Every structure is written in structure tokens, then in C-alpha cells.
Amino acid sequence: MIITGGASSGFLVYSYLLTDPNDAILIPSPYYTMIVHHISVFTENQSVRCSLLEQDTGKFYFSVEIFEREYNEALANGLRSRMIIFINLQNPLGDVYDEMMIQPVLGFAAKKQLHVVIDEIYSLSLFANEKLFESVLNFSIVDSERTHFLWSFSKDFTLSGAHVGVMYVGTSELCSVASEFNFLLTPSRHIQAILTSLLADRTWLRSYIELNRL
């Protein structure tokens, strides 16, 4: 696990670590537009929109088929897909993707040897009447070496200015390389100490999470 300078820094590290120039990154659309900026700062890769919109119904669906379709389209256009990125809970739709929806995507990625980065930056920000959130960290992962996690304090704790995030990188080898690159992106020890103290107060933490779901 790596402490980095927020989710933006996490995307910088993952894209640099896992892709080469002109590689395709599959992203379900609509998405938070700054992702495209973050993943292309150090690597001139190609973001590929995988539309969640089903034209016949006008509704948005997260499914493995949208990734299969755009993977094949990118391949036909001479692009090598290397990674899938998505946010759960989805931004901007707010949809919650459970394990039954995500596992087929992870299976497809494993078959094609694609890395998957799942950003769970809104994981504590559901209303109480919504279904419970399931973190990928609790899944039985078919390809754990290519499945990666990202979270930040900026949304769930409304601490965008803190610029502190957490990455869980699939292998110790990748984690070691990511740590070297992440050196300049690591938040100060002072802010880390403050947030460590905040998380250590379990009574306050439980109260805050419950209040945040009202």
C-alpha cells in the first residue's frame, strides 16, 4: 500500500507505471473528465470512451460488453489496450456497482491481460437507504496482480485540500516501482500525522460515517 498526494496523484502513478505511449485506456463514459488529464501527463496514452448509455432505453448500464466492444474497436484501429479505469460509486451518475457487476469485467480483463484500476473515492458517501457498498478489496479476485485500488480523503471526508490518497498496487514488484516514482508526490508528514490521529478516533469515525449517510 502506498500513500500518495490524493487521487489525482494516484492516477499519475498508475498510468506511468502500467502503460506506454499510445496504449489505450478503457474508461466507462460519462466520467470525471480530469481523469483523462491525469492519466496522460507523463504518458501519451489514448483514453477510449466506453459508453454506458444504452440507446434503445436511454438508460445507463455498466456491463462487460461495453469494454469488450471498445477493446475490439481499439484493436481494429491499431491501439493496444492496457488498462481499464472506473470509479465506484460512479461519477457523475452516482450508480453503485456490486460484485456481480464487477466480476465479469475483472474476468474479461484477466483474459486479455489488462490492468484494472478501481477508484473508490466515494465509498463512504452513500445515503442510508441505498444498497451497501462492496469494496473490491473484499472480492475474490481472479487476477490480483493486475487489479489495483485507489481512494482519497477528498470526497468522503471533504478534505480536498489535504491531498492524501491511498493506492493498493497488485504486486510487491509493482509497488516497489510505484513507490520510487511516488516519492515526489508523497504528502507531508504533518498532514499524515493529523489524518492518522483522525482515523484512530474510532468513536468519532463511526459517528461521522453514520452522519454522512443521512
Contact by Cβ (8 Å): 124, 209: yes
Contact by Cβ (8 Å): 139, 116: no
CATH architecture for the domain at 2-188 = 3-Layer(aba) Sandwich (3.40)
- Output the tens digit of pLDDT for each of the chain's 214 residues: 999 999 999 999 999 999 999 999 999 999 999 999 999 988 889 999 999 999 889 999 999 999 999 999 999 999 999 999 999 999 999 999 999 999 999 999 999 999 999 999 999 998 888 878 999 999 999 999 999 999 999 999 999 999 999 999 999 999 999 999 999 999 999 999 999 999 999 999 999 999 998 8
Q: How far apart are CA 144 and CA 136, in angstroms?
A: 10
Helix (H, G, I), strand (E, B) or coil at 170: coil
Taking CA atoms, 88 is separated from 29, 180, 213, in Å, by: 13, 27, 16
Q: How far apart are CA 122 and CA 2, in angstroms?
A: 19
Contact by Cβ (8 Å): 158, 46: no
Place of cell 473490491: 136
Q: Domain residues of the chain, as ranges?
A: 2-188
Place of cell 477508484: 119
Q: Return the ∠ at Cα 82 (arms to 28 and 99), rounded to 5°.
A: 50
pTM of the model: 0.95
